[in-house]
Amino acid sequence: MSPQELPLIDYDNGPVGSLQHRIRSLDGQEIQQLLDYEREHNNRVEVMEILEKRSQELRDGATPSGGAQDDRRVEAEGTAGESPVKPSGSPEPRHGIGGLPGKPEADRPQKR
């Protein structure tokens, strides 16, 4: 089986930490496909444990949940794509940043 035939998009490159959530919508046959592929190609212990646990849950009566199986980020609609906050609008730090000391209050420009 090739990676393109797997029931999860970008299975080989997806983060292991998200796998448990990404497989929730898969049925027993799809989990078995991933198990077979994992045994043949990567054989990662943590991944095998996650897949075997989900397979057992399905055998015990769990049902696949709805939702997307991919790991892509969803962007909010209608955003400009950049922050409306500009550095010139930010107050000076009181305690410094990254090892640089902040200005004591007496040395700060006075607000008018």
pLDDT digits (tens, 9 = 90+) for 30-76: 999 999 999 999 899 999 999 999 999 999 999 998 765 554 544 55
Question: pTM for this structure?
Answer: 0.59
75 φ/ψ angles, rounded to the nearest 5 degrees: -90, 145
Quote the CA–CA distance of 35 and 13 in Å, as a whole number: 16
> What are the pLDDT digits (tens) for 9-18?
888 888 888 8
| Interior angle at CA 67, CA 78 and CA 27, nearest 5 | 160
